[in-house]
Amino acid sequence: MLYLIGLGLGDAADITVKGLQAVRSCSRVYLEAYTSVLTVGKEALEEYYGKQLILADRELVEQGADEILKDADVTDVAFLVVGDPFGATTHSDLVLRAVQAGIPYRVIHNASIMNAIGCCGLQLYNFGETVSLVFWTETWRPESYYDKICKNRAAGLHTLCLLDIKLKEQSVENMMRGKKIFEPPRFMTVSQAADQLIQIIRKRRDEGAELGLTEDTVCVGVARLGADDQVIRTATLRQLVSCDLGLPLHSLVVTGQLHPLEVDMLRLNAEPGALQHLRTVDSSTYTS
């Protein structure tokens, strides 16, 4: 049996009881280590689970699936994923390979940013399409997520922005030289994400485009959601540029139309002045 087990979002104790039982019963346990991270590392998890973990980087999962699935028809193998196992495309691929090899699989779910973000006070059913913000390079400055955010906002919907994670990345130089030297990990902060969005807003303004969001749009920055020291910060995009929410992981929500109860919840963690630009559209809705 292949177990795909979600670890949740905080630390070792965020695994479910069912998940922990499965981990302890498996002969090999892989820890997916490239799409997200917990606030604790491999060693802390090993101690908590009482099991040795094998780190599974992108290369192993995408090219070494046979190694992960080896003997999983006669023994139990666990594949641990931060959050829920079905956040990232590559894990569908692992499931398909298991099925092709006649290996049964089972999913043990857990919280992921896709649902836990609800704790900031915005209603999950008022979210539109989720977007990803990637680190810009000198030559690659994609803006497509900006248009998706605007589309969501035009429909009154909030947008969850997942922020880029670079783990085990090679520099172009090292890649071209075939050197397996990896850059230090990088995690996009809410401040960096807000700055990118504002750069796009300014560019679009210069181009005379109608703006779907502005520097005064109310956003919510979150850091280490689910951990003891999580931070939730409601602020305008402009304010968020200078907010330091601390260690990774960070995520950002750009609000759409706000229900009064959502505003009340946002107020619990709001920067001074953040909500002053909200206009009451009618007795039941706000926008900014």
| Complex with a second copy: residue 55 or 155, whichever CB lies closer | 155
**How many C-alpha atoms does 103 have within 13 Å on its Cβ side?**
25
Residue 206 annotated in ligand binding: no
> Are 212 and 149 in contact, with CB atoms under 8 Å apart?
yes
Peptide bond into 122 cis (omega under 30): no
| Complex with a second copy: residue 9 or 241, whichever CB lies closer | 9
Residue 87 annotated in ligand binding: yes
Residue 113 annotated in ligand binding: yes
Q: Closest separation between CB of residue 129 and a second copy, Å?
A: 6
**Buried b vs exposed e over 61-71: b needs ≥16 C-beta within 10 Å?**
beeebeebbee
Q: Closest separation between CB of residue 40 and a second copy, Å?
A: 13
Q: Closest separation between CB of residue 181 and a second copy, Å?
A: 31
Residue 122 annotated in ligand binding: no
Residue 84 annotated in ligand binding: yes
| Complex with a second copy: residue 115 or 280, whichever CB lies closer | 115
Residue 163 annotated in ligand binding: yes
Q: Closest separation between CB of residue 229 and a second copy, Å?
A: 12
**How many C-alpha atoms does 155 have within 13 Å on its Cβ side?**
13
In which element (H, E) is residue 192 found?
Answer: helix 190-206
Q: Closest separation between CB of residue 179 and a second copy, Å?
A: 31
Residue 240 annotated in ligand binding: no
Q: Which amino acid is at 144?
A: S
In DSSP terms, which residues pair with 163 in a beta bridge? 133
CA distances from 209 to 153, 200, 203, 257 (A): 16, 11, 9, 21
Closest residue by Cα to residue 132 from 179, 91, 188: 188
Residue 9 annotated in ligand binding: yes
| Complex with a second copy: residue 124 or 181, whichever CB lies closer | 124
| Complex with a second copy: residue 12 or 247, whichever CB lies closer | 12
Q: How many CB atoms lie within 10 A of CB 241?
A: 18
Q: Helix crossing, 190-206 with 144-154: angle to 10°?
A: 80
Which residues, in sequence order, are CB contacts of 222 under 8 Å at separation 6+? 117, 120, 190, 230, 231, 232, 233, 245, 250, 251, 252, 253
CA distances from 236 to 75, 197, 266, 286 (A): 52, 12, 12, 15
Q: Closest separation between CB of residue 251 and a second copy, Å?
A: 13
| Complex with a second copy: residue 100 or 139, whichever CB lies closer | 100
| Complex with a second copy: residue 68 or 241, whichever CB lies closer | 68
Q: Closest separation between CB of residue 66 and a second copy, Å?
A: 18
- Binding stretches for a second copy (CB under 8 A): 6, 8-10, 13-18, 20-21, 83-87, 89, 92-93, 95-96, 99, 107, 109-112, 114-116, 118-119, 121, 123-132, 151, 155, 157, 162, 225-226, 261-262, 264-265, 268
Which residues belong to the annotated binding site? 9, 84, 87, 112-113, 163, 225, 250
Which residue ranges are tagged as binding site for S-adenosyl-L-methionine? Answer: 9, 84, 87, 112-113, 163, 225, 250
